[in-house]
A and B are shown apart, each in its own frame.
Chain A
Amino acid sequence: MTKLLQWLLGASVFGVAWGLVVLDLMNLRLPRAYREVAWPMPMYLLVVFGCYSLATVGYRVATFNDCREAAKELQAQIQEANLDLQKKGLKF
């Protein structure tokens, strides 16, 4: 199953469950309170997910490792390599 189908399947399961509660598709006679909670649920989940995404990406950008040491080490090794290669007869 492709990822797209997995998502569609997940969305339809959720949609059906939501429809059962909010639109009372099967006459389940659920208490009013259920409906009132379920009605804004899709919007609510979307907002929560949006916030989670922004927070995660923001945190990861802020904590992205700056490899200063690695850059310095590389510079030093470039010097060393150039000297050694010259000795070995490489013409640049």
Chain B
Amino acid sequence: MASRKSSSKSRGDNNKYSVLLPTYNERENLPLIVWLLVKYFDESGYDFEIIVIDDGSPDGTLAVAEQLQKIYGEDRILLRPRAKKLGLGTAYIHGIKHATGNFVFIMDADLSHHPKFIPQFIEKQREGGFDLVSGTRYSGNGGVYGWDLRRKLISRGANFITQVLLRPGASDLTGSFRLYKKEVLEQLVEKCVSKGYVFQMEMIVRARQLGYSIGEVPISFVDRVYGESKLGGNEIVSFLKGLLTLFATT
């Protein structure tokens, strides 16, 4: 504890990073993601807090989160649960209200987004003073693991069409591993109304529209090992609908 405090002081600034972790049935993943987050934040010495927003997961995610809070302390792990599943967008809004950092990380709790990239996000942000730093699977050393050809094709195709139609100035629009200045995120979530993948896309398109600067960090995206995907069904249809809506309104 003492060494952590002193190392974060040696950074010589008052920046604090709040990590929002929305969870729904992530009992296996939550301890692992928290362990990794603590590891990489401690190693790099930045001040941080983890805010778990659990939507009444029937698998007992919240009980696991409470244990983790005991282990790592109430200043590191904050629990802001909601009674029922109300969706990702509102989970972020709910989480931001309780964030005490001046920067906010948004990431999935399913281990697709590896905390090892967090120091790179922070360095990138500082280098360019960016309002938003977005993880990208589509450029540099970025990539994926566990995707078959069909999924790669859909992903690349959808990304190409989006780039042509919206020219958003960012290479990964549907990814959700991002670092925001807190006030920027607050403003964006107020403006964005979409659901699912389209929500992430709308966030970055509106950010560009409002003149915010965007940095990018290549990330490797490893498909979830534990638990089930919550998106699904008619993903493609809702994606196209969302894309056309943004095309006509932004």
Residues of B within 8 A of A67 (CB): 143-145, 220-222
Q: How far is the CA of A67 from the CA of B246 in the complex (A)?
A: 32
Residues of B within 8 A of A81 (CB): 31-32, 35-36
**Residue on A with the closest CB to B157?**
A57
Stretch at the interface among A11-19, A22-30, A35-43, A58-66: A58-66
**Chain B 97-121 against A: per-residue CB contact (8 Å), 1 yes, 0 no?**
0000000000000010010000000
* CB atoms of B166 and A78 under 8 A apart: no
Residues of B within 8 A of A10 (CB): none
Distance in angstroms from B139 CB to nearest chain A CB is 10
* CB atoms of A2 and B249 under 8 A apart: yes
Given A2-B250, A81-B31, A81-B36, answer yes or no on A65-B156 (Cβ-Cβ < 8 Å): no
Q: Is A90 an interface residue (CB 8 A)?
A: yes
* CB atoms of B248 and A2 under 8 A apart: yes
Distance in angstroms from B72 CB to nearest chain A CB is 9
The one of B71, B153, B220 that contacts A88, using a Cβ cutoff of 8 Å: B71
Q: Is B212 an interface residue (CB 8 A)?
A: no
Most interface-central of A65, A71, A77, A82 (chain B CB within 10 A) = A65
Q: How far is the CA of A60 from the CA of B139 in the complex (A)?
A: 10
* CB atoms of B31 and A64 under 8 A apart: no
Tally of contact residues, A, Cβ under 8 A: 28
Distance in angstroms from A50 CB to nearest chain B CB is 12
* CB atoms of B144 and A77 under 8 A apart: no
* CB atoms of B221 and A4 under 8 A apart: no
Residues of A within 8 A of B220 (CB): 65, 67, 70
Q: Is B129 an interface residue (CB 8 A)?
A: no
The one of B64, B67, B138, B167 that contacts A3, using a Cβ cutoff of 8 Å: B167
Distance in angstroms from A7 CB to nearest chain B CB is 8
Distance in angstroms from B122 CB to nearest chain A CB is 20
Residues of A within 8 A of B250 (CB): 2-3
Q: Is A74 an interface residue (CB 8 A)?
A: yes
**Residue on B with the closest CB to A60?**
B156
Residues of B within 8 A of A2 (CB): 247-250
Q: Is B142 an interface residue (CB 8 A)?
A: yes
Distance in angstroms from A54 CB to nearest chain B CB is 10
**Residue on A with the closest CB to B205?**
A3
Q: Is A68 an interface residue (CB 8 A)?
A: yes
Q: Is B165 an interface residue (CB 8 A)?
A: yes
* CB atoms of A65 and B35 under 8 A apart: no
Distance in angstroms from B197 CB to nearest chain A CB is 18
The 5 closest A-B pairs by CB, nearest first: A65-B143, A67-B220, A70-B220, A81-B35, A67-B145
Binding site for B on A (CB under 8 A): 2-4, 7, 53, 56-57, 60-61, 64-68, 70-71, 74, 77-78, 81-82, 84-85, 88-92
